[in-house]
């Protein structure tokens, strides 16, 4: 019982978007009982085929394999024609797992955001300050905070990438809480490097996927030649389990840190929160700030509790002192309203985007 190859011929070929061809193999079987052994030896979809082209090997991916039984022959022998659709392997990336490939569906566009203003840059006709490229407190000429928002442009970046099911399993318990976080450290995404606190995760959507593709399989083989071990790579269909992740980022070149005026109506004295008071110094008639106890101790006049926020000193123990211009010196809190985290566990692709077809 056996089967043998009689001849091979090309039935058709195409050189359009890719090089494809249809090739036929004709086998002779001693009997119909040899059909199953032949059948299960045939390369199937996503298998690999190498052919010599002169002195070089040309590699093809099997798109389909079909077997057709020909008319019966004398002596019980059978002829079977195997027709294969082959596609030229143009890029070795096709042999990589989906999560080893570059990002795709990449797009970058502008986005408009608003934030509360704590600083501004005086213009040439400001009624108080001279024009300057240095920021000044966003207060009125009395030194009281102004209310306003500022619009600023950021870059919205969208792309898709793949992450292995094993890697996703390690982050799935907190994946739902990711939107609104910013990067805690320097990170490279899609070929672009961003300093810390400049990238905000707007949204991340994950979809579980399974796909069979031609893949490179590493086989460790012992060779009887001293203690040498040879690693052989073969190509065969591989089932990949992964998540397709669609990402929307908001990149802020100014960083997501903001300045906030350090103002209030209360102070902290040795862990005790007390309301601020203002009064006239009994000797100089200068406006003085402090707690009610300060007011009673110093013997000030016309004291009253503060009802509107005023600038506090850096320690938060009293109101900020007056500067040479007679206005309070402003102090600021500086930081982000968004939680900074490490993006390392998200396995963002660092390579530039590329068009590819796996899993799309």
Q: Are 338 and 181 in contact (CB under 8 A)?
A: yes
Give the rounded percent of residues in the chain with a pLDDT score beyond 70: 94
pLDDT > 70? residue 229: no
Total number of residues shown for the chain: 360
Residues 8-36 as b/e (b if ≥16 CB within 10 A, e otherwise) read eeeeeeeeeeeebbbbbbebbbeeeebbe
pTM to 2 decimal places: 0.76
Indicate the helix (H) or strand (E) that contains 37.
Answer: helix 35-39
- pLDDT per position as a tens digit, 239-294: 999 999 999 999 999 899 988 889 999 999 989 999 999 999 888 888 899 999 99
What is the edge-to-edge ordering of all strands in the sheet holding 182-183? Answer: 104-116, 149-164, 229-251, 199-222, 182-183, 340-341
Residues 185-204 as b/e (b if ≥16 CB within 10 A, e otherwise) read eebebbeeebeebbbbbbeb
- pLDDT per position as a tens digit, 141-179: 767 778 778 788 899 999 999 999 999 999 999 999 999
- What is the residue extent of each domain of the chain? 3-90, 98-116+147-256+340-346, 263-329
CB atoms within 10 A of CB 322: 15
Query: Among 89-93, 134-138, 317-321, which stretch is predicted with the lowest mean pLDDT?
Result: 89-93
CA distance 101 to 119: 44
- pLDDT per position as a tens digit, 175-220: 999 999 999 999 999 999 999 999 999 999 999 999 998 887 776 6
Q: What is the pLDDT of residue 357?
A: 58
- pLDDT per position as a tens digit, 27-63: 999 988 899 999 999 999 998 888 888 888 888 999 9
Under the banding of pLDDT at 50, 70 and 90, the label for residue 235 is: confident
Q: Give me the sign of the Cα torsion angle 122, 126, 129, 131.
A: positive
pLDDT > 70? residue 359: no
């Amino acid at each position: 019982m056996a089967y043998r190859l009689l001849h091979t011929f090309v039935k058709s070929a195409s050189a359009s978007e890719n090089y494809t061809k249809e090739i036929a193999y004709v086998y002779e079987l001693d009997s119909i009982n040899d059909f199953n052994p032949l059948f299960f030896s045939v390369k199937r979809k996503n298998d690999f085929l190498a052919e010599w082209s002169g002195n070089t090997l040309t590699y093809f991916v099997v798109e389909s394999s079909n077997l057709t039984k020909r008319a019966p022959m004398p002596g019980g022998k059978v002829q079977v024609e195997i027709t294969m659709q082959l596609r030229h392997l143009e890029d070795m990336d096709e042999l990589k797992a989906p999560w080893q490939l570059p990002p795709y569906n990449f797009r970058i566009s502008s986005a408009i955001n608003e934030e509360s203003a704590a600083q501004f840059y005086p213009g040439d006709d400001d009624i108080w300050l001279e024009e300057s490229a240095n920021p000044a407190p966003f207060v009125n000429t009395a030194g009281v905070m102004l209310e306003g928002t500022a619009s600023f442009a950021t870059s919205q970046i969208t792309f898709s990438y793949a992450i292995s099911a094993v890697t996703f399993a390690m982050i799935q318990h907190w994946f739902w809480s990711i939107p609104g976080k910013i990067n805690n450290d320097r990170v490279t995404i899609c070929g672009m490097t961003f300093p810390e606190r400049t990238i905000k995760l707007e949204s991340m959507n994950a979809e579980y996927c399974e796909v069979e593709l031609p893949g490179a399989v590493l086989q460790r083989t012992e060779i009887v030649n001293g203690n040498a071990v040879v690693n052989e790579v073969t190509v065969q269909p591989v089932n990949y389990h992964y998540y397709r992740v669609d990402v929307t980022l908001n990149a802020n070149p100014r960083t997501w840190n903001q300045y906030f005026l350090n103002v209030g109506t209360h102070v902290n004295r040795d862990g005790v929160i007390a309301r601020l008071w203002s009064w006239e110094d009994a000797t100089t008639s200068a406006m003085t700030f402090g707690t009610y106890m300060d007011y009673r101790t110093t013997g000030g006049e016309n004291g009253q509790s503060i009802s509107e926020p005023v600038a506090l000193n850096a320690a938060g123990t009293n109101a900020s002192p007056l500067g040479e211009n007679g206005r309070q010196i402003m102090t600021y809190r500086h930081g982000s309203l968004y939680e900074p985290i490490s993006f390392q566990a998200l396995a963002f692709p660092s390579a530039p985007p590329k068009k590819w077809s796996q899993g799309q």
